[in-house]
Homo-oligomer: A and B are copies of this chain.
Amino acid sequence: MTLDEAWRILRENQYKRTKNRDSILHFFSKNDRYLTALDIRNFMENENPGISFDTIYRNLTTFTELGILEETELGGERRFRMHCDPGVHHHHFICTSCGKTRNIPHCPMDIITVHLPNHEVEGHKFEIYGKCPTCVA
């Protein structure tokens, strides 16, 4: 997703354009990987050294709810990345060292027919973990 698309969604939902949101989104748009709240905090060292974690988490939650970011959990902490292709459902290979991802176009739900009578399916998760070429070397 581009910055313009993200801001269009935010505007449509009456969210204000602030310096923090601009910086955070810009950081995500430059990084094709899953990032932590601390990553963002560190990146803001220059732009806004005093940024509150409250602000970071609040915006991460907002962005995720609006579908601008997608979220996962790795090593006991929440991680976020720019929702790469909002229209097309897909999954990820995730590097456990650097958080970098690689798309997996297939979805097991399309292939696996599971019989779950009377169950109410809400969602699913399919992720492959490992080391990306850079971190292998």
Given contact pairs A93-B121, A104-B112, A122-B129, a sample of 20 additional A-B residue pairs in the complex whose CB atoms are under 8 Å apart: A73-B76, A76-B78, A93-B114, A96-B122, A102-B116, A106-B112, A108-B112, A108-B126, A111-B111, A111-B112, A114-B128, A116-B130, A118-B133, A119-B132, A120-B130, A120-B136, A122-B131, A124-B128, A125-B126, A125-B127
Task: Check B112 against A122 for contact (C-beta < 8 Å).
Answer: no
List residues of chain B with CB within 8 A of the CB of A132. Answer: 119
Q: Measuring CB to CB, which residues of chain A are less than 8 angstroms from any residue of chain B? A: 73, 76, 78, 93, 96, 102, 104, 106, 108-109, 111-112, 114, 116-133, 136
**A73 to B129 alpha-carbon distance, docked (Å):** 15
